Amino acid sequence: MTWFFFSGLQGFPCGPAVKTPSFQCRVVDLIPESSPKVRLVRGPHRCEGRVEVERNGEWGTVCDDGWNMKDVEVVCRELDCGAAIGTPTGNLYKPLADEKQKIFIQEVNCSGTEDQLINCDQLEDVYDCSHSEDAGAICEKPPPKVRLVSGPHRCEGRVEVKRNREWGTVCDDGWNMKDVEVVCRELDCGVAKGMPTGNLYKPLANEKQKIFIKKVNCSGTEDQLINCDQLEDGLVYVFSLLPHSLLLDKQSPNKDSELGAPFCGKEIVRLVGGPGRCKGRLEVKHQEQWGTVCKAGWNLSAAKVVCRQLGCGKATLTKKCCNKDTQGEGLIWLSSVSCSGQEENLHYCLSGLEGNNNCTHDEDTWVECEDPFELRLVNGDTSCSGRLEVLHKGIWGSVCDDGWGTKEEQVVCRQLGCRRPIFVPAKLRRKFAPGDGRIWLDDVHCKGQEQSLEQCQHRSWGYHDCNHKEDVVVFCSGKPCRLNPWGLAWREAKKQVPDI
């Protein structure tokens, strides 16, 4: 959208050839990207589907008369997709267009070099076409519009996003693990691991590089960062009361506050040779090769970092060396590792230079962590509702509801990958059959921001003053319910809790 301003601070519909004796028009681009007037619908992604064009706020289809690869090339270019691949019939994409939807174009004739479909020769007087002849298009799926740069691999680094074929950075205002989860998902990396400052990755962004996004707010479930709520680094316009003038002041965030860069779950640390993934000989990956870690300088703080990085429980054994059967071979990458215990990743701990040490494999480090903290909701209709159980020492047990509230439920729903908690009356919660066996946790207290229930305060494992009538039941919004977990209570629940 383009607005025209004059110095009296009122909009005025003037252009290059329109002036008044007292005012001079100035053109200001408020939105750098205009929305495409074409889209592909009902396909597996935004770059494949039935072709629709926009006219006066209404979307209509395009007849396939004369439709060919040159026309598809233009559509792909306008949508910022990849190369044109095919011209399938629009009927391939279900459901078909509604019979009431208009057909805006009878025939298109593009040279293939146009930037927009609207620039091609068109016959808009539709006289002989029905929705059975709707045009379709297949373009290559576009590369992600986010990337991580200057890190050790493509799944770690400073965050950059693409706008109009240009890459810019993201400010770290409000940046959190939910935003990192979306970046990792979009880049097809693993689980989100951390969000250190972007300044960690050298060289820093050039001062001339733009900062495109001032603040991001993701729910954590989006497939692309562009789908999250965003405050883009816009222009603040200051209008002067002096004649013939318009002042623009661009306020940019400080480069020092560039976005904390995500760690995604590309494997760079592992424990091997043990009874499970949380016990074994420590190995790290450097220059695409795995090597061991010398125990010189190794302590509990370093073991805590490894256990956290692997998503395991707390560190339980740190000083043990490998025996003859579990020793490594080949490279010994690290020695004299020094951690505070707070690092998200072993990469941030101090150590000797990679491969520069006098260690032998008799000194390979062995680490043991508790099994990962796991929880689940059982006897509900979906994995996002039911009686809460946690796993400890290989045994599932329930959680007592003493002190339990909304903040605790928020943590459970987040850890399970569900959405927000749903309020359900106590009468309906009691319809769930109580558990049996162990009651593992009692007096759980969370702040609501924790990523795992394990990070909340609670009594020691197995210590409680409860019975199974006090078992915690949690409902999160997630997959739609299909069955009736309460029998006769279900209709009543739907009336009282419409979100279920």
Residue 352 is predicted with a pLDDT of 64
- Determine the average pLDDT of the residues in 374-395: 87
Based on the fold, state whether residues 398 and 349 are members of the same structural domain: no
Based on the fold, state whether residues 155 and 200 are members of the same structural domain: yes
**In CATH, what number is assigned to the domain containing residue 57?**
3.10.250.10
Q: Is residue 450 part of a domain?
A: yes
List, in sequence order, the alpha helices (H) in 292-422.
Answer: 300-309, 406-415
Q: Is residue 138 part of a domain?
A: no
Q: Is residue 118 part of a domain?
A: yes
Measured in whole angstroms, the distance separating CA 236 from the mean position of its chain's CA atoms is 29
Specify the residue for token string 């703080």: 301
pLDDT higher at 493 or 23: 493
Residue 238 is predicted with a pLDDT of 24
What distance in Å separates the CA atoms of residue 481 and residue 428, rounded to the nearest whole number?
A: 15
355's tokens: 């491969």
List, in sequence order, the alpha helices (H) in 236-284.
Answer: none
pLDDT band at 7 (very low <50, low <70, confident <90, very high): very low
Q: Based on C-alpha coordinates, what's the Rg of the chain?
A: 29
Based on the fold, state whether residues 472 and 487 are members of the same structural domain: yes
Domain limits for position 46: 38-132
Looking at every residue in the chain, the average pLDDT score rounds to 76
CB neighbours of residue 361 within 10 Å: 17
Q: Is residue 65 part of a domain?
A: yes
Q: Is the pLDDT of residue 129 over 90?
A: no
What distance in Å separates the CA atoms of residue 220 and residue 241, rounded to the nearest whole number?
A: 45
Residue pair 476/413 in contact (Cβ under 8 Å)? The answer is yes
Based on the fold, state whether residues 160 and 127 are members of the same structural domain: no
pLDDT in tens, 99-117: 899 999 989 999 999 999 9
Q: Is residue 8 part of a domain?
A: no
Based on the fold, state whether residues 213 and 284 are members of the same structural domain: no
Based on the fold, state whether residues 324 and 277 are members of the same structural domain: yes
pLDDT higher at 2 or 355: 355
Q: Is residue 28 part of a domain?
A: no
Q: Is residue 22 part of a domain?
A: no
Residue 141 is predicted with a pLDDT of 79
Q: Where is the domain boundary, 343, 369, 395?
A: 369
Q: Is residue 17 part of a domain?
A: no
- Determine the average pLDDT of the residues in 106-134: 87
Based on the fold, state whether residues 387 and 351 are members of the same structural domain: no
What single-letter DSSP state applies at residue 322?
A: P
Q: Is the pLDDT of residue 71 over 90?
A: yes
Q: Where is the domain boundary, 264, 280, 296?
A: 264
Specify the residue for token string 């605790």: 408
pLDDT band at 342 (very low <50, low <70, confident <90, very high): confident
Domain count, the chain: 4
Based on the fold, state whether residues 154 and 248 are members of the same structural domain: yes
87's tokens: 């011209």
9's tokens: 């601070």
Based on the fold, state whether residues 69 and 43 are members of the same structural domain: yes
Based on the fold, state whether residues 329 and 379 are members of the same structural domain: no
Based on the fold, state whether residues 279 and 319 are members of the same structural domain: yes
Q: Where is the domain boundary, 236, 264, 292?
A: 264
pLDDT in tens, 405-463: 989 999 999 888 888 888 877 777 777 778 888 999 999 999 888 777 877 888 888 88
Q: Is the pLDDT of residue 227 over 60?
A: yes
Burial of residue 411, with CB atoms counted within 10 A of its CB: 0-12 exposed, 13-18 middle, 19 or more buried: buried
Can you give the length of the chain in residues? Answer: 500
pLDDT higher at 287 or 66: 66
Based on the fold, state whether residues 249 and 163 are members of the same structural domain: yes
pLDDT band at 256 (very low <50, low <70, confident <90, very high): very low
